[in-house]
Amino acid sequence: MTVSLTGYGRYVPDERITGPEIAERSGIPEEVVVEKMGVREKRVCPPDDDHPTDMCVAAAEDALADADRDAADLDLVLYHGSEFKDFVVWSAAADIAERLGAESAYATESYTLCAGAPVALRQVRAQLLAGDIDAALLVAASREEDLVDYANVDSSFMFNFGSGASAMVVERDAGDRSRAAVLGSGAVTDGSFSRDVVMPAGGTRNPTSEDTVAAGEHSLDVPDPDGMKERLAPVSLPNFLDVTDEALERSGLDRDDVDFVALTHVKRSFHDYYFEEMGLDPETDGYYLDDYGHVQSVDQVLALDEGRSRGRIEPGDVVCFVAAGTGYTWAATALRWRG
């Protein structure tokens, strides 16, 4: 049996915020925001429009059309995007399935924060190989930019957060409709980082109140930014490389076989360093998302689509989805592009 990506879609809102605007709001020099953080611009949502499920439905409709499938053909709708959704304690997956007309599908959700795309592909591939389902829709969206406080310099590594959505149709034994074979995956978690990025209020430990709102505790924060950087710097690149190697090994491949990497948005120097360690050219063997920012687990589809539009991915190429999410989990999934 084979598991294939048969179609994908993406959606980004029209509204933008530029790197110079972020610099002005935050007080960080423009050169740092644009060149070091790698944000020329990013997409943001208007307050009363482009909610996560709206964006997912738009991306999903494009993915289904790309796969030449109807929503009624789906057995599963899996949401793997941000936990910051239209409502709190609520199933976005069920809402998306209903709006698409996926009447035969069950709906569920999977959260690995920004590492969601390769992990969701890994989970669904296993279900398809087991014969549990025949066709699945993976959807993700993020508008965590709403949670960023540009006055809080301690959380500056999140100033790249942007908005958008992605969708992928994944099927078993798709034959000629296969766009890419979904291959092996790798992942690792270091839970010592689990409380390094939090929204201080709104959960059971610090419920929402007038005091928490007045204190501005409903934006993302990094309680110990220097400590986090000190502990993360030595392990992040090795873990990115390790999960990539694990995914390749499980696919019967190695680094020399890789043609394109859809890497989550990170600061530009780290992005280039990863590609150099992989023996790849960051200018031709990937796509740097400095015109989108970091759109949580949507990044991989955005990079894939931009890479394809520039002729950087050809039939037969090995493509790796590589990501990391706070918590901290690093993950990768390999694909063989068929066109």
**Distance between CA atoms of 244 and 185, rounded to whole angstroms?**
8
User: Closest Cα partner for 325 from 301, 299, 288, 289?
Assistant: 299
Q: What DSSP string describes 260-274?
A: EEEEPP--HHHHHHH
Tokens of 194: 């689990």
Q: How far apart are CA 49 and CA 160, in angstroms?
A: 21
The Cα–Cα gap between 162 and 43 comes to 5
Could you give the residue ranges of the DSSP H alpha helices within 171-260?
A: 210-214, 225-250
Quick one: pLDDT at residue 99? 98
pLDDT at position 273 is 97
User: In this structure, how many other beta carbons lie within 10 angstroms of the beta carbon of residue 23?
Assistant: 20
Partner residues linked to 189 by β-bridges: 329
Task: State both tokens at 18.
Answer: 């530029």
- Domains of the chain are 3-178 (3.40.47.10), 181-337 (3.40.47.10)
- d(CA 169, CA 190) in angstroms, rounded, equals 30
- Alpha carbon dihedral 41, 45, 50, 55, in 10-degree steps, equals 30
Q: Tell me how far CA of residue 316 lies from CA of 164, 258, 313, 321, 332, in angstroms.
A: 29, 10, 9, 16, 19
Mean pLDDT per 10-residue run, the chain (339 residues)? 96 97 96 96 94 98 98 98 96 98 98 97 98 97 95 92 98 96 98 95 96 94 93 97 98 98 97 98 97 98 98 98 97 96
C-beta separation of 277 from 241 below 8 A: yes
What's the rounded Cα separation, in Å, for the pair 134 and 256?
Answer: 32
Q: Is 162 exposed, middle or buried (0-12, 13-18, 19+ CB in 10 A)?
A: buried
Which residue in 120, 69, 119 sits closest to 330, CA to CA?
A: 119
Q: Is the Cβ–Cβ distance between 239 and 259 less than 8 Å?
A: no
